[in-house]
Chains A and B, each alone.
Chain A
Amino acid sequence: MKSLVSLIVLFISLNSFASETSNNKMGIWITPKSIPQNQLLLKSGDDFKFKGDICVVHLGEEDHHQKCQKVSDHKLVFKAYFPDSLHDVSDKLVITQSKDKKSWKYSLKTDKLQSSDLNQLTLTVGTDDKKTNELLSIKAKIEKRILILKDFEIIYLNTNDRVLNFAKIKGNLSGYLPNVTAASPTDPCARWR
């Protein structure tokens, strides 16, 4: 029997990058294409194609539906990780710049999905940052442990071992995650539009 797979999308813009004046910093919008209802239920063995748009905006005015800003390509590094942030799949990431050079489209087709994986796409845009990469790796390792513990809770629910309290360890590990994310020097502009 094939297990159901849930997909998670995480976007991070690495470091706001400044233009000529220091008070004219830019942020990045990453907007995923919504997933059709009929593709929400995926099984182990299926694959999936993520798609979306990337746009550079002035930092601090990102809620004002402003227009995308023109930025030269060489200032940005696009990276993709799947099924978790320990697995770099940037070579499968397709980035296409618009004709006016103010936005990009991205797409990434996964390999066959496994229910035992996190199935989390992490897309980073900006300049490469060592500390952020380290924290992303740690986050993936903690999330993997939480995923295993969730499986254990289901497996042992109807067995004689049901007294086992996996929730406690899971709770401890989950408690670290917000702080791991907060410690990463990412741009506050990177969020869902």
Chain B
Amino acid sequence: MNSLRMILVVASLIVLSSCSGEKGVEGNNSSAISASQVEIAKLQAALKNEPVYKINDSETTLLQHEGIISVADKAQLQSIQ
């Protein structure tokens, strides 16, 4: 159970690192990661009651297909729902 929890924590750090656009360096970058996490959480909360503005998978796929966003961009867009 503990090892599973460890894997999940590491995975979430990688996602947050790519969302903030910061280098995922351990230790020194923790404040940047947490700031990004708070900002995205606030945006998510604001959008929570407005499902009409949810960006669905087919839309991010269309943007990627059109060359408008990268895989990392897609992850960021999907995180801000």
B35 contacts A165, C-beta separation under 8 Å: yes
Which one, B20, B21, B36, B68, contacts A179 given CB within 8 A? B68
CB distance from B59 to the nearest CB of A (A): 5
A148 contacts B66, C-beta separation under 8 Å: no
Which one, B21, B36, B42, B59, contacts A152 given CB within 8 A? B42
Q: Mark A115-150, 1 if CB is under 8 A from B, else 0.
A: 000000000000000000011011011101100110
A138 contacts B55, C-beta separation under 8 Å: yes
Cα–Cα distance between A59 and B55 once the two chains are bound (Å): 35
Cα–Cα distance between A183 and B65 once the two chains are bound (Å): 11
Interface-facing stretch out of A8-16, A98-106, A168-176: A168-176
Q: Is A17 on the interface with B (CB-CB < 8 A)?
A: no
Size of B's binding interface in residues, CB under 8 A: 26
Cα–Cα distance between A149 and B43 once the two chains are bound (Å): 7
CB distance from A56 to the nearest CB of B (A): 29
Size of A's binding interface in residues, CB under 8 A: 25
Cα–Cα distance between A164 and B69 once the two chains are bound (Å): 25
Q: Is A95 on the interface with B (CB-CB < 8 A)?
A: no
A134 contacts B39, C-beta separation under 8 Å: no
Q: Which residues on B sit within 8 Å (CB–CB) of A172? A: 21, 73, 76
A168 contacts B20, C-beta separation under 8 Å: yes
Q: Which residues on A sit within 8 Å (CB–CB) of B66? A: 179, 183
Cα–Cα distance between A180 and B65 once the two chains are bound (Å): 12
CB distance from A171 to the nearest CB of B (A): 10
A176 contacts B76, C-beta separation under 8 Å: no
Cα–Cα distance between A179 and B73 once the two chains are bound (Å): 13
Q: Is B63 on the interface with A (CB-CB < 8 A)?
A: yes
Q: A138-B59, A169-B43 are in contact. List 17 more A-B contacts (CB 8 A).
A: A135-B62, A145-B47, A148-B46, A148-B47, A152-B39, A152-B42, A152-B46, A164-B39, A164-B42, A165-B35, A168-B20, A168-B36, A169-B39, A169-B40, A176-B68, A179-B68, A180-B63
Q: List 6 A-B contacts (CB under 8 A).
A: A86-B53, A141-B59, A144-B50, A148-B43, A161-B38, A164-B35
